[in-house]
């Protein structure tokens, strides 16, 4: 089946569009409609006109940031973009993964396609061509304060467009110049506003936020399914998820989670009541209230992210139609910073929830008759085997690290660049933190998923499971055998983790 195509034409793109191209599930095309091309090129022509009239345009006939009072003679204006991306080539840390880099490039392309950045259509074509051929700039993760946009990381995109620095191509890090020569790609000589237009925006934090959103949405569903299995394994009271109960506290997200668990447990108004254990511990009873916060967070995070994704967010804004140059601060990543700081807190709460469910499953004082540490060993072998004992310790470590990383990045603004950038968003750090919390929470989920399946099997309840829960148990057992005698679990945990990150299992509609 052929891949669908995401078309960049200045119209709205969704988080799903960005993720689909980033994961190479859909291809990318740039509109070649005459009206679109003319609208983009009109901004570049307007900049040229201003230069001919010797108008003063920030970043075109002036220096950058605090250096905006420095006038650039017209004969030197053409050199300025190269200086901009050159002196910003100081990023450090790990490099963004291929998926993240594709998302960054597409998000920046979409912003430039709004037609308010004063760049040529040719520049949009160059970015599109790199994505289509999977020529990915090697972009360090660290070095952005999130206002004046993602200057340092995006300088690596600007430099690659001009044929400089390094790219990842066909699985190898190579000099951009060599790849361009091999593929007969002409490096761009950036026009006066183009270096600033590429770099002075929120593409990195927004791209990472798109990917974080998608992972968070899936993790919410997975944590719900795990909670349903945990309720079965721990002989939980299914009526904690009663429809009438949740109607009196009508947060949409927790109502949705409770409904999913009800369906998983086959609980209906007609079912005979069996709630001999009056109240379960909070990590079962309050699962909808905890997971529901994430479900209620996702819609407004989506609004924040997609508004940013479909905005012109550089400076200055070029209104070619009205012939205005509008100086402002649209590069400020405050909305993404807040969304990511908020999301990482609710995600870490999922890690904490699952850690507590894991603790109940392991401890014979609380697991209602299951063997200690969910050991599957029998008779004389029982004393030698340790079940999920070490896995639980690892879960505690991952949870603690996730919780530690919930400190909001957005409150750590630092005044920089001669106090021109005296209040900054830290949006990119917030987004990277959110990814790290997601990684750790996915690790917790991979461990608990194996544990709850073993718990259900030890309880000998498989035949009583709903079809959906039975499917999940079967899918896990297709990949990982029960833990009977001690074995190293690392590779199996890594396999389940990979499947989670690929969203391998369909969970809820």
CA–CA distance from 194 to each of 84, 119, 213, 341 (Å)? 10, 6, 30, 31
Strand partners, 175: 166
**Strand locations in 144-285, DSSP E?**
166-169, 172-175
Tell me, rounded to whole angstroms, the distance of Cα 11 from its chain centroid. 22
Q: Residue 156: which H helix or E strand, with range?
A: helix 151-161
Contact 28, 21 (CB under 8 A): yes
Q: Which two tokens stand for residue 354?
A: 């699952």
Q: What is the Cα–Cα distance from 150 to 333, expressed in whole angstroms?
A: 9
CA atoms within 13 A of residue 287's CA, in its CB half-sphere? 35
Question: How far apart are alpha carbons 391 and 23 in whole angstroms?
Answer: 30
The SS3 of residue 418 is coil
Please tell me which residue in 58, 121, 239, 332 is annotated as part of the active site: 58
Q: Are 488 and 288 in contact (CB under 8 A)?
A: no
For tokens 């997601």, name the residue. Answer: 438
Q: What whole-number distance in Å separates Cα of residue 492 and Cα of residue 197?
A: 46
| 3-class secondary structure, 477 | helix
Structure tokens at 256: 């949705």
How many CB atoms are located within 10 Å of the residue 245 CB? 12
Q: Is the dihedral of CA 92, 93, 95, 97 positive or negative?
A: negative
Query: What single DSSP character describes residue 78?
Result: G
Cα Rg for the chain, rounded, in angstroms?
A: 26
Burial class, 251, CB count within 10 angstroms (exposed 0-12 / middle 13-18 / buried 19+): middle
CB within 8 Å of 507: residues ≥ 6 apart: 218, 221, 222, 224, 225, 472
58 in catalytic set: yes
Cα torsion 449, 429, 150, 311: sign: positive
In three-state secondary structure terms, 244 is helix
Residues recognised as catalytic: 58
């Amino acid at each position: 089946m052929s891949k669908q195509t995401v078309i960049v034409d200045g119209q709205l793109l969704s988080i799903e569009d960005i993720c689909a191209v980033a994961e190479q599930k859909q291809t990318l095309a740039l509109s070649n409609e005459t009206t679109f091309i003319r609208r983009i090129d009109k901004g570049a022509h307007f900049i040229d006109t201003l230069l001919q009239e010797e108008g003063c345009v920030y970043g075109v006939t002036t220096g950058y940031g605090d250096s905006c009072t420095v006038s650039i003679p017209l004969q030197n204006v053409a050199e300025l973009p190269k200086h901009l991306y050159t002196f910003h080539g100081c990023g450090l840390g790990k490099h963004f993964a291929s998926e993240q880099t594709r998302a960054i490039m597409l998000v920046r392309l979409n912003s430039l396609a709004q037609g308010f950045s004063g760049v040529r259509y040719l520049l949009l074509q160059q970015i599109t061509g790199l994505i289509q051929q999977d020529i990915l700039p090697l972009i360090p993760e660290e070095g952005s304060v999130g206002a004046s946009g993602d200057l340092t990381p995006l300088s690596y995109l600007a430099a690659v467009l001009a044929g400089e620095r390094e790219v990842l191509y066909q699985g190898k890090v190579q000099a951009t110049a060599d790849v361009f020569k091999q593929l007969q790609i002409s490096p761009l000589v950036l026009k006066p506003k183009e270096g600033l237009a590429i770099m002075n925006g929120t593409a990195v934090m927004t791209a990472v936020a798109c990917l974080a959103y998608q992972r968070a949405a899936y993790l919410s569903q997975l944590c719900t399914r795990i909670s349903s299995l945990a309720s079965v394994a721990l002989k939980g009271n299914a009526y904690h998820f009663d429809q009438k109960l949740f109607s009196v506290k009508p947060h949409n997200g927790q109502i949705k989670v409770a409904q999913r668990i009800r369906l998983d447990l086959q609980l209906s108004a007609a079912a005979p009541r069996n709630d001999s254990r009056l109240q379960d511990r909070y990590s079962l009873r309050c699962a909808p209230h905890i997971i529901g916060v994430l479900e209620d967070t996702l819609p407004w995070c989506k609004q924040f992210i997609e508004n940013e994704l479909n905005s012109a967010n550089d400076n200055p804004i070029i209104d070619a139609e009205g012939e205005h140059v509008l100086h402002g601060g649209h590069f400020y990543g405050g909305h993404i910073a807040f969304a990511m700081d908020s999301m990482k807190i609710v995600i870490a709460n999922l890690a904490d929830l699952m850690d507590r469910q894991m603790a109940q499953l392991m401890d014979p004082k609380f697991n209602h008759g299951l063997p200690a540490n969910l050991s599957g060993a029998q008779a004389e072998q029982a004393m030698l085997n340790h079940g999920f004992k070490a896995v639980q310790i690892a879960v505690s470590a991952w949870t603690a690290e996730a919780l530690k990383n919930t400190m909001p990045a957005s409150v750590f603004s630092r005044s920089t660049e001669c106090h021109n950038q005296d209040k900054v968003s830290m949006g990119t750090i917030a987004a990277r933190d959110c990814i790290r919390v997601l990684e750790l929470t996915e690790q917790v989920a991979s461990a608990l998923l194996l544990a709850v399946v073993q718990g259900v099997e030890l309880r000998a309840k498989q035949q009583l499971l709903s079809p959906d829960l039975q499917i999940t148990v079967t899918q896990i057992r297709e990949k990982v055998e029960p833990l009977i005698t001690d074995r190293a679990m690392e590779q199996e945990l890594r396999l389940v983790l990979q499947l989670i990150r690929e969203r391998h299992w369909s969970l809820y509609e």
